[in-house]
Amino acid sequence: MAKINVLNKEITLYTRDDQDYICITDIAKYKNAETTGLIISHWLSTRFTVEFMGFWEKIHNPDFNVTEFSNIKNQSGSNGFVLTVKQWVQKTHAMGIISKPGRYGGTYAHKDIAFEFASWISVEFKLYLIKEFQRLKESEQKQLGWDIKRNLVKINYRIHTDAIRNNLIPPELSKSQINFVYASEADVLNVALFGKTAKQWRDENPNQKGNIRDYANISQLVCLSNLENINALFINEGVTQKERLKKLNTIAIHQMKILIADHSIKKIGDRK
């Protein structure tokens, strides 16, 4: 469950079938925290809301009961007409609005519907809700992009370490010896691209968390991914570590000049 803060009100969100739902119970608290259920029922009982909800369900829900919707629509707007979320869902098989029990319980609505409800509550609140929701989505996309880049490096590193295991590690080595070989090969790439080993970077940055690669920019990550594949090929061909370092450094310099000048790479990096 994600949360955003809108005009000092905490709004809960959750994902259902890859769709974003927003807690309209939380939104209703902006108007009156003591009568959220009544507020939602009043909104749901208006003819405009019934029509809007019906059209939304027709577009998105193949199981929507159009016959029951028509009956509800004909009754809406009349004196004494009251419609609850439970009645709406049970009669029409609606999927755009749901009630959830438990710790994060309440009434949740698809973001399209939640924004309409927020507008009914307060136009100002709706605009801030959209702003904070978009901020959250941008943050999630940024994190997703970073995870993809990190995973790309990890996948290529597996190719890299497999080549080391098959070509550099003789049988019967101790675990510490095996670890030393891996660390040395990782530092071959670090020195070729960053000009320093992981330990040298940690000594220079004692207050930084993570490692040197966590602070690489998009161009460096792309170059590092390429260097790992190339190094694996060099290892398979039996090239010595000294020669590999020289070749990889030359390649890194050449590729970084291209990547830094590449506007498409810059645009991807700007989203970080």
pLDDT digits (tens, 9 = 90+) for 174-188: 555 445 455 678 888
Answer whether 10's CB lies under 8 Å from 3's CB: yes
The model's confidence at residue 79, banded by pLDDT at 50, 70 and 90, is confident
CA of 163: how far to CAs of 159, 169, 185, 193, 253, in Å? 6, 10, 11, 20, 24
**168 three-class SS:** coil
Look at residue 63 in the predicted model and tell me its pLDDT. Answer: 94
Residue 161 lies inside a defined structural domain of this protein: yes
Token readout for 27 is 């939104």
Highest mean pLDDT: which of 52-56, 162-166, 241-245, 254-258?
Answer: 52-56
Query: What's the rounded mean pLDDT across residues 117-127?
Result: 94
CA of 169: how far to CAs of 60, 192, 235, 240, in Å? 58, 22, 11, 14
Q: Answer yes or no: do 81 and 150 share one domain.
A: no
Look at residue 30 in the predicted model and tell me its pLDDT. Answer: 94
Q: Please, which residues have CB within 8 angstroms of residue 194's CB and are 6 or more apart in sequence?
A: 201, 212, 216, 220
Residue 131 lies inside a defined structural domain of this protein: no
The model's confidence at residue 165, banded by pLDDT at 50, 70 and 90, is low
Q: Find the angle CA(217)-CA(209)-CA(177) to the nearest 5 degrees.
A: 95
Helix or strand holding residue 157 (H, E): helix 123-167
Residue 62 lies inside a defined structural domain of this protein: yes
Q: Answer yes or no: do 192 and 103 share one domain.
A: no
Q: Answer yes or no: do 258 and 151 share one domain.
A: yes
Better-predicted residue by pLDDT, 139 or 115: 115
Q: Answer yes or no: do 201 and 99 share one domain.
A: no
Residue 128 lies inside a defined structural domain of this protein: no
Q: Answer yes or no: do 107 and 147 share one domain.
A: no
Q: Answer yes or no: do 49 and 166 share one domain.
A: no
Q: Find the angle CA(101)-CA(104)-CA(109) to the nearest 5 degrees.
A: 80
Q: Domain containing 7: what range?
A: 2-121
**63 three-class SS:** coil
At residue 43, φ and ψ (nearest 5 deg) are -65, -45
Last residue of a domain, one of 93, 121, 149: 121
Q: Answer yes or no: do 62 and 155 share one domain.
A: no
Residue 127 lies inside a defined structural domain of this protein: no
Q: Answer yes or no: do 106 and 146 share one domain.
A: no
Q: Answer yes or no: do 91 and 174 share one domain.
A: no
β pairing state of 9-16 and 19-23: antiparallel
- pLDDT tens digits for range 15-70: 888 889 999 999 999 999 999 999 999 999 999 999 999 999 999 999 999 999 99
Instruction: Tell me the average pLDDT of the chain.
Output: 83
Name the domain count of the chain.
2
Under DSSP, the state recorded for 213 is G
Q: Is the pLDDT of residue 127 over 80?
A: yes
Residue 130 lies inside a defined structural domain of this protein: no
Q: Answer yes or no: do 110 and 150 share one domain.
A: no
Nearest to 24 by CA among 87, 88, 124, 96: 96
Q: Answer yes or no: do 25 and 114 share one domain.
A: yes
Among the residue ranges 10-14, 56-60, 98-102, 230-234, the one predicted with the least confidence is 98-102
Look at residue 168 in the predicted model and tell me its pLDDT. Answer: 41
User: What's the farthest any 2 CA atoms get from each other in the chain?
Assistant: 88
Question: What whole-number distance in Å separates Cα of residue 30 and Cα of residue 35?
Answer: 11
